[in-house]
Amino acid sequence: MNFKTHNDTHIDTSGCGLMGRFSADYETLVRVFGEPTAGFDKTDAEWHIRFDDGSIATIYNWKDGVNYCGDKGLPVHLIDDWHVGGKSMRAYYTVYDLIKKAK
């Protein structure tokens, strides 16, 4: 499936909510989706993705990195628990399938 990320164009992610989680290393996410946006507050890395079917997905870590946990948080390159946000489960399944194929 073709997609664009925040590295290509602005993607409006308003209204997205948690759809699921998956495990993958940071390097795999960068290889598939490019460099993340800088996280803030409770996240350290985020990807905003619009698939060619119009579905929108976000991928992000949640409350386990240095932005939230300080010195006790994981550096982003060691994070392997990722959340997927979207407006439908289609976003989660599409992200999950792309990551599974990339491993």
Helices (H), 1-103: 26-33, 66-69, 89-102
Q: Percent of the chain beyond pLDDT 90?
A: 96
Q: pTM here?
A: 0.96
- Per-residue pLDDT of 48-103, as tens digits, reads 999 999 999 999 999 999 999 999 999 999 999 999 999 999 999 999 999 999 98
Question: pLDDT band at 37, cuts 50/70/90?
Answer: very high
How far is the C-alpha of 47 from the C-alpha of 9, rounded, in Å? 12
Domain ranges of the chain: 3-102
How far is the C-alpha of 98 from the C-alpha of 59, rounded, in Å? 12
59, 83 Cβ separation under 8 angstroms: yes
Cα 83–chain centre separation: 6
Is the pLDDT assigned to residue 1 strictly greater than 90? no
